[in-house]
């Protein structure tokens, strides 16, 4: 069992019923005739050793009694039972025979242990103990193993124990300051500082970076964190560029519009533009304005413009993009078109999207917009 995990223990079910005795055999759903062909004495309260029932999956040292009510009951030790349906003398002989059999097995095991060479005993003692997996429906508890842990469930460990498994686990911090343990994954264990974009403060941010939290909901009001599981991120705040990881709630010194800085310098993860390997942007499109030229469907044009804005400027909100110090390679027409395509499509000429596109076409006299208005 992995540290921190809690494996549910399976318990044995109630005695199974619904079986009938026929000429010394038990017929039922759980116990079948082939399993009881050997060792069944043929009376209503006979004793059957569990090793005769391999699919039940119980230890061979256990025994069962099939009582007169035809239900199975497990016994810790093999009792000296007699058969009520047979004469008492025959029952006594059967009991004595069972006792002698058990004694013979114990003597045989003792002689075998005495005849085992010492070096073999030492090698067997030094061998690792591996737990045998119980049958799926056996009801037996899971046995522990002395093998080294192959997998550690880090999320179940306390922060104090997290360091005991440094190769697999890492101690992180939530935005509210509470520490927790998580899986290390591919994060190097010898890293001394967090690079840009590193989350969780397992180590301090590298020089020139700061650890920040802060969420910008759709309502526009800043929140300390979007959800309780948010963790701080190392950001390059203060360099005058509002990149894709930053916004005015976690990096106001670069992203918040002020009287002294009415325009924001945005920069995405791919300033050169989409790679052309995405389904949103065909390889033939080299600038945002070509989205309308190459593509015909309104949703296809919208996704193409969205991808360009996301990769080049790190923003997809038209209102934010209008505050940019530079929107190149976009034009003002491209932003207007993206704003119209964000509107709900609806049905008929009264849909918000169609009304916006018609207004844009009347203002710009751009005939390419006509194909977006066609059904």
Write out the DSSP string of 253-268. HHH---SS--SB-EE-
Q: Which of 123-137, 168-182, 303-317 has the lowest mean pLDDT?
A: 123-137
Residue 134 lies in a domain: no
What are the distances in angstroms from CA 172 to CA 46, 216, 227, 237, 351?
62, 23, 16, 22, 49
| pLDDT of 148 higher than 50 | no
pLDDT for residue 188: 87
Residue 309 lies in a domain: yes
- What percent of the chain is modeled with pLDDT above 70? 61
Cβ-based burial of 296 (10 A; exposed 0-12, middle 13-18, buried ≥19): exposed
Please identify, among 96, 114, 132, the residue that sits at the C-terminal boundary of a domain.
114
Tokens coding 125: 């003692």
Please identify, among 80, 114, 148, the residue that sits at the C-terminal boundary of a domain.
114
pLDDT for residue 176: 94
Residue 211 lies in a domain: no
Total domains in the chain come to 2
Residue 305 lies in a domain: yes
Tokens coding 238: 């203060």
| Structural domain of 95 | 20-114
Residue 48 lies in a domain: yes
pLDDT for residue 257: 94
- pLDDT-derived band of residue 162, with 50, 70 and 90 as boundaries? very high
What average pLDDT does the segment 51-67 reach? 38
116: left (phi over 0), alpha (psi -120 to 50) or beta: beta
Asked if 30 and 48 count as a contact pair (C-beta separation under 8 A), the reply is no
Task: For CA atoms 39, 40, 43, 49, give the dihedral sign.
Answer: positive
Segment 349-364, tens digit of pLDDT: 789 999 999 999 999 9
Residue 311 lies in a domain: yes
Residue 42 lies in a domain: yes
What average pLDDT does the segment 52-58 reach? 38
Cα 256 from Cα 37, distance rounded (Å): 85
Q: How many Cα atoms occupy the beta-carbon half-sphere of 360 within 13 Å?
A: 23
Q: Which residue has the higher pLDDT, 125 or 356?
A: 356
Tokens coding 186: 């591919």
| pLDDT of 58 higher than 70 | no
Q: Which residue has the higher pLDDT, 103 or 68?
A: 103
Asked if 352 and 306 count as a contact pair (C-beta separation under 8 A), the reply is no
- pLDDT-derived band of residue 94, with 50, 70 and 90 as boundaries? low
- pLDDT-derived band of residue 118, with 50, 70 and 90 as boundaries? low
Whole-number mean pLDDT of the chain? 74
Residue 324 lies in a domain: yes
pLDDT for residue 374: 81
Please identify, among 76, 94, 114, the residue that sits at the C-terminal boundary of a domain.
114
Cα 273 from Cα 286, distance rounded (Å): 8
């Amino acid at each position: 069992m992995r540290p921190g995990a809690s494996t549910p223990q399976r318990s044995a079910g109630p005695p199974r019923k619904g079986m009938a005795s026929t000429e010394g055999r038990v017929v039922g759903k759980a116990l079948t005739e082939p399993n009881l062909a050997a060792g069944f004495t043929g009376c209503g309260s006979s004793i059957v050793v569990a090793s005769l029932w391999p699919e039940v999956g119980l230890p061979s040292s256990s025994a069962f009694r099939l009582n007169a009510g035809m239900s199975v009951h497990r016994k810790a030790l093999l009792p000296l039972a007699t058969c009520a349906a047979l004469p008492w003398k025959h029952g006594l002989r059967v009991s004595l025979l069972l006792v002698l059999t058990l004694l013979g097995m114990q003597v045989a095991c003792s002689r075998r242990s005495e005849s085992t060479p010492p070096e073999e005993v030492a090698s067997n003692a030094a061998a690792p103990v591996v737990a045998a997996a119980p049958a799926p429906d056996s009801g037996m508890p899971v046995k522990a193993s002395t093998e080294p842990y192959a997998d550690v469930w880090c999320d179940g460990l306390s922060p104090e124990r997290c360091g005991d498994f440094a190769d697999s686990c890492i101690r992180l911090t939530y935005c509210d300051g509470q520490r927790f343990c998580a899986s290390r994954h591919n994060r190097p264990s010898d890293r001394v500082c967090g690079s840009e974009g590193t989350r969780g403060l397992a180590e301090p941010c590298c020089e020139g970076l700061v650890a920040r939290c802060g969420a910008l909901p759709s309502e526009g009001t800043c929140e300390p964190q979007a959800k309780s599981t948010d963790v701080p991120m190392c950001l390059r705040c203060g360099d005058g560029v509002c990149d894709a990881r930053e916004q005015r709630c976690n990096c106001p010194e670069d992203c918040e519009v002020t009287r002294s800085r009415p325009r924001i310098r945005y920069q995405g993860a791919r300033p050169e533009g989409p790679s052309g390997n995405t389904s949103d942007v065909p390889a033939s499109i080299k600038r945002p304005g070509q989205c309308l030229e190459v593509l015909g469907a309104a949703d296809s044009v919208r996704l193409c413009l969205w991808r360009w804005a996301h990769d080049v400027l790190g923003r997809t909100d038209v209102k934010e993009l209008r505050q940019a110090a530079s929107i190149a390679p976009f034009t003002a027409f491209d932003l207007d078109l993206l704003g119209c395509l964000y509107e709900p499509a609806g049905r008929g000429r009264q849909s918000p999207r169609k009304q916006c596109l018609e207004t844009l076409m009347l203002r710009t006299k751009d005939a390419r917009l006509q194909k977006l208005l066609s059904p």
